[in-house]
Structure 1
Amino acid sequence: MKKLILLFVAISIFSCKAKQENHQVKTVENISITASEVKETVSFLASDDQMGRGTGSVGIDVSANYIEKQLKEFGVKPYYDTYRDHFKVQEMDAYNVVGFLEGTDATLKNEIIIIGAHYDHIGTKAKMVESDSIANGANDNAAGTSSVLAMARYFGAKKSNKRSLMFVLFSAEEMGLLGSKHLANRLKDENAKLYTVVNMEMIGVPFKDRDYVAFLTGYGKSNMAEKINAYVGANFLGESEVAKQYNLFKASDNYPFYDVFKMPSHTISSCDLSNYDFYHHVGDEIDKLDYDHMASLINQLIPGIEKMSNTATQEIKMHDE
């Protein structure tokens, strides 16, 4: 009888443990990015307390600390000795924040996909608008930063990437892409093997008149849009004529990597300056953004990044120019 009781207890413990493990697996498998989490990130970075996150400011240092804390919580380690990739801007100290999630495949992990966005903005403006001089930079680019952190949370939990993922929040973008130029050259000097770069910029508002969710800068330079659309099974990425007109391909942090590595490197955005009136304006505030749209966009993109990180062969390629 005693042996039967002990056997019953053992079976019960094993059953409970199995249920817990199954629940944990189910929880990981069903990760979804929410509007509230992206809003929380944007609300912190674009608050008046950060004073527009100008390079070299107290506000951008506080923002970098926030980003580092998030990456650490998500299980994304520093790529270098610390999360900060330091460089100089005039006499100011500046730093990209660089996290790294090693791939799970013994060979493919040597190839790196960069998922990036700039977290700096333009600080304060001399000309006040209705007693407000803080350029909060909610759409530009706390929105993009929130998407990178959301994807870091997803992949940090799932660890479903065979290629390695580098999560980069760039500084001094507003001063001439200085952070991305610095990191592109540093990685080139270190012989890093980059697979591609996906940069996120101004995803805070949706298009009203397009048959796609977001556009890809430099659309025709590679097959990235075609492949991501195939990976996600939808017409997710399209080409913006406005972006071509303003040559936005060269205006964001994708470009230095394209220039230095001669590889597919693009920016994904849902704002091409035709559907938002507050670019570099004190009115670029937290309450102007559509967080349901942002969460939906990120959730649609993640399977594309996931598939991109797991293909056995190199599928993202440059087009002949």
Structure 2
Amino acid sequence: MLKIIQIAILILLVSCGSTKLKETDASNIPNNPEGVKGKIVENKDSSDNSLIANKDLAEKVEFSSAEGISSIMAFLASDELQGRDSGSEGIEKAAKFIETKFSKTGVLPFFENYRDTISNFDKAAYNMVGIVEGSDPVLKNEYVIIGAHYDHIGILSGGEDTIANGANDNASGTSVVLELARYFGKNKLNKRSIIFALFTAEEKGLLGSKHLAKTLKTKNLNLYAMLNYEMVGVPLVDKDYLMYVTGYELSNLATISNNYGGEKVIGFLPKAKEFNLFKRSDNYPFHETFNVPSQTFCTFDFTNFEHYHKVGDENELMDFNHMANVVNTSIPIIEGIVNSRTKEIHY
């Protein structure tokens, strides 16, 4: 009997060894963008050979930089784009800029091309939609949308300066999404598929996101979650967290985000609930259409920015180090969400 037990223990030890997690330097991963720092965990279980970020990456990742963010913002919030009003020549330049960014970073068109022409606006206007397909043969059929609106309100009458450049609203969110698209497009460590969507006509009543949500619903898209970025150009004031999510109490997104972020990344802002911000950005049409967790990350707290929908919403007021921190902190959160074996976020 003793010999049988010893043999059984030996077999158990060998089998456990086959699923041991091995740490590897992230800089040695093929196609690792910009030499991302930190460690990843390589799961050697034969049923899962993918690479999954661990909390070391949450603490050490330095993918985005203030300089990189600044270069994107310098174009998107420039006078050349004339305030990015939907259907204008200025926003057409922004659309071409986004197309170039997507194509250079391995983000493929979701439709025949990157442009999703919206049908609920009287001028030619386009959502810009790309995809990084998931690596898992099953989970790749589940989708996470990472979004922001890239339009603004254009030209305002009166005054010496008439261009509403929309740096914080929402060149900031657009820049964060473009940086996240660059990371995942180059790195390709996502099991679930990620759709990167930059919306037009948000300022006209969420028209771009309403159109895309309806279109994707007709395609029977298996949407897991929609994560939106809005007005993230300046940091919160006197808060012990980096961002808040609209509709905080409606889901466990904050808890999941904080678990993967390795710190208190997401908190509750009472003003966001008071002003019902959950219904006032591009997350909301996906909530209405799909009834899946659809929420917005934001750092506008009603005290830290006085130029909402004014010509003073300029790049010179933006904190590019803060924005890079938003990107770098979001990376392990999104990696955790798109790579989890089950759908962890729920209403």
Given the two structures, how large is their TM-score scaled by the length of structure 1? Answer: 0.90
For 1:90 and 1:22, how far apart are their aligned partners in 2?
48
1:87 offset after TM fit, Å?
1.4
1:86 maps onto 2:123 in alignment: no
For 1:227 and 1:73, how far apart are their aligned partners in 2?
31
Secondary structure of 1:206 counterpart: coil
1:97 maps onto 2:97 in alignment: no
1:293 maps onto 2:346 in alignment: no
Secondary structure of 1:88 counterpart: coil
Taking only aligned residues, the RMSD between alpha carbons, in angstroms, comes to: 1.4
Report if the CA contact (8 A) 2:31-2:187 is conserved: no
For 2:224 and 2:126, how far apart are their aligned partners in 1?
23
For 1:39 and 1:25, how far apart are their aligned partners in 2?
24
Report if the CA contact (8 A) 2:176-2:326 is conserved: no
1:294 offset after TM fit, Å?
0.6
1:163 maps onto 2:203 in alignment: no
| 2:261 pairs with one of 202, 217, 232 | 232
Given the two structures, how large is their TM-score scaled by the length of structure 2? Answer: 0.83
| Residue matched to 2:104 | 73
Q: How many residues align?
A: 296
1:62 maps onto 2:86 in alignment: no
1:152 maps onto 2:148 in alignment: no
- Give ranges in structure 1 of 5+ residues lacking alignment: 1-20
Deviates more, 1:242-251 or 1:86-95: 86-95
For 2:201 and 2:121, how far apart are their aligned partners in 1?
11
1:253 maps onto 2:282 in alignment: yes
Write the mapping of 1:172-251 to structure 2, written as runs, cut at 5 A: 172-251=201-280
1:208 offset after TM fit, Å?
2.1
- Structure 1 residues 25 and 193: CA distance shift in structure 2, 3 A: closer
Query: Could you tell me which amino acid in structure 1 is paired with residue 243 of structure 2?
Result: A
- Structure 1 residues 90 and 233: CA distance shift in structure 2, 3 A: closer
Report if the CA contact (8 A) 1:242-1:274 is conserved: no
For 2:256 and 2:29, how far apart are their aligned partners in 1?
33
1:157 offset after TM fit, Å?
1.3
1:244 offset after TM fit, Å?
1.0
| Residue matched to 2:292 | 263
| Residue matched to 1:315 | 344
| Residue matched to 1:303 | 332
Report if the CA contact (8 A) 1:273-1:279 is conserved: no
1:286 offset after TM fit, Å?
0.7
| Residue matched to 1:142 | 171
Query: For each residue in 1:112-165, what CA deviation from the matched residue of structure 2 results, as whole angstroms up to 9, or x when unmatched?
Result: 10000000000011232xx00100000000000000000011111110100000
- Give ranges in structure 2 of 5+ residues lacking alignment: 1-26, 38-61
Give identity over the alignment, percent.
Answer: 49
Query: For each residue in 1:27-72, what CA deviation from the matched residue of structure 2 results, as whole angstroms up to 9, or x when unmatched?
Result: 5543611111111111101100100000010000000000010000
- Structure 1 residues 90 and 155: CA distance shift in structure 2, 3 A: closer
